[in-house]
Structure 1
Amino acid sequence: MTTRDKAKWLRFLILILGGGTIYKLASLKDAFYVPMQEFMGLSHTEIGLLLSANAIIATALFVVGGMLADRFDTRKLIPLGLLGTGSLGLYLATFPPFSNLLIVFCLLAVCADCIFWPSLLKAIRNLGDDNEQGRLFGLLEGGRGVIDTVVAFSALGVFVAMGSGEAGLKSAILFYSVIDMIAGTLTWFLLKGGTPQAAAKAKNGWSNLLEAVKVPGIWLVSLNVFMVYIVYCGLTYFIPYLKEMYGLPVALVGAYGIMNQYFLKILGGPAGGFIADKQFKSTSRYLKWAFLALLPLMGVILLIPKSPSFIYAGMAATLSFALIVFSMRGVFWAPMGEVGIPQHITGSAFGIGCLIGYAPGMFAYVIYGTLLDHFPGQQGYNYVFSLMSVLAIVGFMVSTLLYRTVQKKSPACAGVAVPQG
């Protein structure tokens, strides 16, 4: 391996470190959904509102973040987002009233989704050519899963060590905050040695944005991400589902939540990139059939008897469903290579993609949470899981259209059409 390759993969590992830590506070519900209800006094609907407020601000600012990533040095924006997130976590640990929680979750979106995320995506894209995009993004998701799992299980250990009560939850939040600040400090110093960004500043942010808007493929890729993400949002409700329907203990609910939301990234991201390349020869084609594979698994989840004796079957079925979704998340940005996005507008392209693709975060959690609050017990979960199945069918149709569009571009775009996963 050459010195240049070593430097490239070192920067990649540093970027994974930031990507695997910055969303822990905004996604506190992944490991601590039930403790948030018990010790912060939040209902399903209120947690959904916090997540939606975060997503609304994120969605509104994704394009701004893309323009920032094209205009300013991502080596400065990335640590800035991490340090800001950690600082907000220090206040979150005081358990402020719900109105203040809404403000905190909105500011977390500014730090993570506007300042950090488009810069991270651009930095990853610029690490390799179009033939490496599937592999790079798949490894990004897998690497984030490793960091996610280690950090989240450590936070759960802090929670248990502090008594699994209010003090435990506050300590876990402080732990996340300190980790963010450490990651921000490391990225600030370790990314400074990287190669300066290409001079995309010859055009201003608005020119890059307008150029990106005119690329038709961006819109289909973005809609495809939208469909994956709206199904992904539903994975959160496997956590209370196992507790309410199967009686899973609170400590195990936290462990399951970490596996469901973090550990599966380790397997799903790289697996999605490998399968898309080696078996399907196209990420858009893989996404099409992955959507279809979700339907029989959801049927199994709905049919398993709701009894403590079937708890392991319920866990296995829901984790299998989540694994496929995470394999899709690992590669859902890779079709940007298939549709041929110029390097100098990468930030703006990802800003548009994030604006549309992550939009479900604005309303999906509220819809799912409201269904569960209005239809308690099995009926509510039946509605939520059935809705996820319908959305998977729509996703199958969108991915089919994307794949057909990519096929029509061949052989003219054969050089960039198939990212290697």
Structure 2
Amino acid sequence: MEMSSARRALSIAALVIAGESVFLLPFVFARVFRPTLLEVFDLTNLELGTAYSVYGVVAMAAYFFGGPLADKFPARVLLAIALVSTAAGGLVMMAVPSFSTLVMLYAYWGVTTVALFWAPLIRATRQWGGEDEQGRAFGFLDGGRGLLAASVGSVMVLLFAGLLPADSEAATLAEKTEALHRIILVLSGTTFAAAVLVILSLPHRDPSETAAEQPLSLKGVARVAAMPTVWLQAAIILCAYVGFKAIDDFSLYANQVVGLDEVDAARAGVFSLWIRPFAAVGAGLLADRIGASTMTVTSFMLLAFGSLILASGLIGSGMVWIFLLTVVCSSLGIFALRGLYFAIMREGKIPRAYTGAAVGLVSVIGYTPDVFMGPLMGYLLDQSPGAAGHQHVFWVVTGFALLGLVASGCFARVTSRTR
């Protein structure tokens, strides 16, 4: 049954808000306030990376089993449960837990944000896009998520600055802790509100595309695993996601290499987030015209160039504008890829009835950077303090960007033969 234009707009808006709200506490918070979080929680870069890694390990299993769940149960129900459960974790975060408790919290979030959330989100978005607007659908999803993340990030920075003394460098540990407490509370409330919106706004699934009458099984996984395009898509996601994980270093790079204070470094991190809506939506709209695989190749080129500049050592203290321009280049590639790497499912001829199974399978491989990038970044930054550690991080990103370029070229060739 066709939805009205207003109902379609409300549905994609709900998916956008849910899609970013669920990650505000686990990732956006740390991305924007990384230097302050390390100080308040008394963590090293490696310890924070370890928490991310535990999240990633749990997520690997969660992606795999979450796919069949998404093919069986309504997205609105799974998404709402995931959002409420994730918001509850914010209460633990507010207590400034010990390192061991923080690790357990991230493991918990690995279940709530992935097993119950990720595949239903992608399936609902693919359903919204229909046969001819997959680029638009996923561009709107990630671009809208980016707009929300940037808006929330900007509000968080304003709130953070308002809660600290005029000279933020003179703020005490207690003042910084109280500021983070209030920000975590706001993020928890936002995540809970998103759950309410999802229940009220998302339609029930089209009966023609549901497997609810079938018992829960891995049949769909076996079917999509036989498709070469699925494995190439997994490689594309993996390489693109390495770049996405590296944006966690932008604010710390700004602080330790460019020489910005903690507030301005947080602003630099948010600046990257503002590029996301324009890159994702633009890439999605172009993908519907010239092909998602073609846009994927172009995006990896941008990512490789930007990360190479950050790795080269050309950026030093006080070079704010050169740093920001390089961040723009890298971010355009990173966020365009986020708007594309599920839009290519149509070109890969993955049956819509098995979208959840395909998402689960490619995500098990594609999101392995959740396991290794956090500890790897932490190790590189701690072992080579200052500019050298950041350069090592972006050499890694450059390498994966080049691998992604190869994988996306192969995907384009395979799909051109089957079209």
| TM, length-normalised to structure 2 | 0.92
> 1:58 Cα shift?
1.1
> 1:388 Cα shift?
1.5
**1:156-197 deviation per Cα after TM superposition (whole angstroms, max 9, x unaligned):** 333233326110011111111111111112212332667567
**1:107-144 deviation per Cα after TM superposition (whole angstroms, max 9, x unaligned):** 11111111011111111111132321111001111111
Match of 2:298 in 1: 289
Mapped partners of 2:192, 2:219: distance in 1: 34
Match of 1:50 in 2: 51
User: CA, structure 1 residues 171+196, in 2 after alignment: closer, same or farther (shift >3 Å)?
Assistant: farther
Mapped partners of 2:197, 2:372: distance in 1: 35
Contact kept? 2:242, 2:373, Cα under 8 Å = yes
Contact kept? 2:83, 2:195, Cα under 8 Å = yes
User: CA, structure 1 residues 252+79, in 2 after alignment: closer, same or farther (shift >3 Å)?
Assistant: same
Match of 2:380 among 368, 371, 381: 371
Mapped partners of 1:340, 1:144: distance in 2: 26
Cα RMSD of the aligned pairs, angstroms, is 1.8
1:361 aligns with 2:370: yes
- Letter of the 1:342 partner, please give it: P
1:247 aligns with 2:232: no
Mapped partners of 1:316, 1:96: distance in 2: 37
Match of 2:34 in 1: 33
**More off after superposition, 229-238 vs 172-181:** 229-238
Mapped partners of 1:119, 1:131: distance in 2: 20
Structure 1: which 5+ runs fail to align?
A: 411-421
User: CA, structure 1 residues 403+45, in 2 after alignment: closer, same or farther (shift >3 Å)?
Assistant: same
Contact kept? 1:50, 1:102, Cα under 8 Å = yes
- Letter of the 1:379 partner, please give it: A
**More off after superposition, 25-34 vs 382-391:** 382-391
Secondary structure of the structure 1 residue equivalent to 2:132: helix
**More off after superposition, 211-220 vs 17-26:** 211-220
Match of 1:234 in 2: 246
Secondary structure of the structure 2 residue equivalent to 1:363: helix
1:209 aligns with 2:214: no
Mapped partners of 1:231, 1:146: distance in 2: 19
Match of 2:268 in 1: 256
User: CA, structure 1 residues 139+192, in 2 after alignment: closer, same or farther (shift >3 Å)?
Assistant: closer
> 1:292 Cα shift?
2.4
- Letter of the 2:226 partner, please give it: K
Match of 2:286 in 1: 275
Match of 2:13 in 1: 13
Match of 1:389 in 2: 398
Match of 1:223 in 2: 235
> 1:6 Cα shift?
2.3
Match of 1:304 among 314, 318, 325: 314
> 1:210 Cα shift?
2.2
User: CA, structure 1 residues 47+198, in 2 after alignment: closer, same or farther (shift >3 Å)?
Assistant: same
**1:315-338 deviation per Cα after TM superposition (whole angstroms, max 9, x unaligned):** 221232112211111111111110
Match of 1:415 in 2: none
**1:287-319 deviation per Cα after TM superposition (whole angstroms, max 9, x unaligned):** 1232223333334333534122x2122122123
User: CA, structure 1 residues 404+232, in 2 after alignment: closer, same or farther (shift >3 Å)?
Assistant: same
Contact kept? 2:236, 2:407, Cα under 8 Å = yes
1:338 aligns with 2:347: yes
Identity %: 26
Match of 1:399 in 2: 408
Secondary structure of the structure 1 residue equivalent to 2:106: helix
**1:344-379 deviation per Cα after TM superposition (whole angstroms, max 9, x unaligned):** 111111111211111111001211210111111222
User: CA, structure 1 residues 297+209, in 2 after alignment: closer, same or farther (shift >3 Å)?
Assistant: closer
Mapped partners of 2:363, 2:283: distance in 1: 20
1:63 aligns with 2:75: no
User: CA, structure 1 residues 315+91, in 2 after alignment: closer, same or farther (shift >3 Å)?
Assistant: same
Mapped partners of 2:45, 2:75: distance in 1: 37
Contact kept? 1:162, 1:171, Cα under 8 Å = no
Mapped partners of 1:377, 1:257: distance in 2: 18
Match of 2:202 among 173, 191, 195: 191
> 1:384 Cα shift?
1.6
- State the number of aligned residues: 405
| TM, length-normalised to structure 1 | 0.91
**1:69-102 deviation per Cα after TM superposition (whole angstroms, max 9, x unaligned):** 1111111001111000101111111011110101
Mapped partners of 1:357, 1:159: distance in 2: 34
Match of 1:416 in 2: none
User: CA, structure 1 residues 379+128, in 2 after alignment: closer, same or farther (shift >3 Å)?
Assistant: closer
Secondary structure of the structure 1 residue equivalent to 2:42: coil
Secondary structure of the structure 2 residue equivalent to 1:201: coil
Contact kept? 2:21, 2:190, Cα under 8 Å = yes
